Amino acid sequence: MKKIAILGSTGSIGTQTLDVVSRMPEHFEVVGLAAGNNVDLLLEQVHAFKPQWVSAGNEALADRIRAEAPQGVRVLSGEAGLTEIASHAGADYVVCSLIGSVGLKSTLAAIEAGSDIGLANKESLVTAGHLVMDKAKRRGVSILPIDSEHSAIFQCLNGEDVSTINRLIVTASGGSFRHLGREELTGVTVEDALKHPNWSMGAKITIDSATMVNKGLEVIEAHWLFGLPYDRIDVMLHPESIVHSMVEFVDTSVMAQLGNPDMRVPIQYALTYPKRVVSPATPLDLLKQGTLHFKPMDFDRYPCLLLAYEAGRSGGTATTVYSAANEVAVARFLRKEISFLAIERIIEDVLAKHAGISDPDLETILETDAWARSEASASEV
């Protein structure tokens, strides 16, 4: 019986994690749930899974939970609630599925507490990969990737040493505007940007897929998870999202992991690793699928991916700035304050103003994150 806590339980990954867990009640006990504003869903989850610890986005929402939750449940709120649940709920395993760099402190807290981590929150690795990986190594904690591409790479590696890898090939769908040229992106709408061709996901990552920032974040995530330099992490366009990523080994063998796009598969694998168990996902029928397509990445069409490689190669605080500026720009786009193309201009603008700091500690990361957010909020590109 694994005791698990889920940070971001009301989101796309959080709800699918609970779906996976609910099918294996003999293997998992949910001890902690944390979310932001969706208190109705959080309360439903509290009644269904009976965790001992719960956290909501603020005190007013926490009070609502206190009024309606079963007696004995400890109800917390805000950032302190997230870190408290990560540290003290008694979880053996913490699923980090918050969105954005707000996930960093609680991911670090869960690692410090010695829990294994199911990591969906890629932004915590992008903003502070060296701190997260160093702490995991020191505490002897496993970080199991939930992101589909990194789960695929992890499965292809299957324990083989990193020295046997030639390169990683991360696949990219092309996002919701993949049928449009750059000149056609002026004036595209939020509603259309939110229509991912293959996956149903939260709003922020869906916009990140359309700008190719998602792949930029994933290249940096792969660098930290698998310890490879950026010139050995390639991205390939693959419109069907059936091959979730590949590993080319030194002997030229290429291993790929395939499956229908269904996040319950990588979530479940991260939870049950090293075991494989029956999944509710629909098995892949390659004969029905027919053809799979692969194309080289077009960096002129997707300049945000190039910015990610540049930030990753610069190292230090550059990736913190890339991720934080993007978060603010995406939020502004979703509020319809700026155009789709302004997202990439803001990231580029804030990165250009940033004087990088190497080997930053947590305080420096948090200061840089706040600086990049304020610059991106004020940017009038």
Ligand X SMILES: CC(=O)[C@@H](O)[C@H](O)COP(=O)(O)O
Name the binding residues for 1-deoxy-D-xylulose 5-phosphate.
122, 148-149, 173, 196, 209, 214-215, 218
Q: Which does 11 bind (CB under 5 to 8 A by kind): Mn ion, ligand NDP, ligand X, none?
A: ligand NDP
Backbone angles phi, psi at 7, to 5 degrees: -95, 115
Summarize the annotated binding site as residue ranges. Answer: 10-13, 36, 38, 121-123, 147-149, 173, 196, 202, 209, 214-215, 218
175 binds, among ligand X, ligand NDP, Mn ion, none (CB under 5 to 8 A by kind): ligand X
| 181 token code pair | 């040229």
Any idea what DSSP says for residue 259? -
Where in 206-225 is the site for ligand NDP (CB under 6 A)?
none
State how far the Cα of 356 lies from the Cα of 162, in Å rounded to an integer. Answer: 29
Count of other CB atoms within 10 angstroms of residue 267: 27
Residues 6+ apart with CB under 8 A from 370: none
Binding region for Mn ion (CB under 5 A) out of 129-137, 146-154, 226-234, 276-284: 146-154
CA dist., res. 205 & res. 98, Å (int): 12
- Whose Cβ is closer to Mn ion: residue 116's or residue 147's? 147
Largest alpha-carbon pair distance within the chain?
Answer: 62
Which partner from the list Mn ion, ligand NDP, ligand X, none does 172 bind, CB cut-off 5 to 8 Å by kind? Answer: ligand X
Would you call 362 helix, strand, or coil by DSSP? Answer: helix
- Give the total of residues touching ligand NDP (CB under 6 A): 29
> Residues forming the annotated binding site for NADPH?
10-13, 36, 38, 121, 123, 202
**Binding-site residue total for ligand X (CB under 6 A)?**
12
Where residue 147 falls (left for φ over 0; alpha for ψ -120 to 50; beta otherwise) is beta
The yes or no reply on residue 175 touching ligand NDP (CB under 6 A) is no
Cβ distance to Mn ion smaller for residue 84 or 149? 149
147 binds Mn ion (CB under 5 A): yes
Which tokens hold the place of 156? 């292809």
Which residue, among 376, 326, 362, has the nearest Cα to 128 in the 3D structure?
362
Instruction: State which of residues 90, 197, 202, 356 lies at the interface with ligand NDP (CB under 6 A).
Output: 202
Residue closest to 133 by CA, chosen among 222, 263, 215, 205: 222
Is position 36 an interface residue for ligand NDP (rule: CB under 6 A)?
Answer: yes
Residue 263 in contact with ligand X, rule: CB under 6 A: yes
137, two tokens: 């190594």
The answer, yes or no, to whether the previous bond of 274 is cis (omega within 30 of 0) is yes
Q: Considering CB distances under 5 to 8 angstroms, the limit depending on partner class, which of ligand X, Mn ion, ligand NDP, none binds residue 87?
A: none
Using the rule CB under 6 A, is 267 a contact of ligand X? no
> Residues 5, 104, 263, 324: which binds ligand NDP (CB under 6 A)?
263
Residue whose CB is nearest to ligand NDP in the complex, by number = 11
Q: Minimum distance between the CB of residue 322 and ligand X, rounded to whole angstroms? A: 16
CA atoms within 13 A on the CB side of 13: 28
324 makes contact with ligand NDP (CB under 6 A): no
Q: Which residues contact 144 (CB under 8 A, 6 or more apart)?
A: 116, 117, 118, 119, 154, 269, 270, 271, 273
Q: 303 is written with which tokens?
A: 């300049």
Distance CA 327, CA 335 (A): 12
User: Which among 17-25, 120-128, 135-143, 171-179 is the span making contact with ligand NDP, rule CB under 6 A?
Assistant: 120-128
* Interface of this chain with ligand X, residues 147 to 206, rule: CB under 6 A: 147-149, 172-173, 175, 199, 205
Residue 21 lies near ligand X (rule: CB under 6 A) = no
Q: Which residues bind ligand X (CB under 6 A)?
A: 147-149, 172-173, 175, 199, 205, 209, 214-215, 263
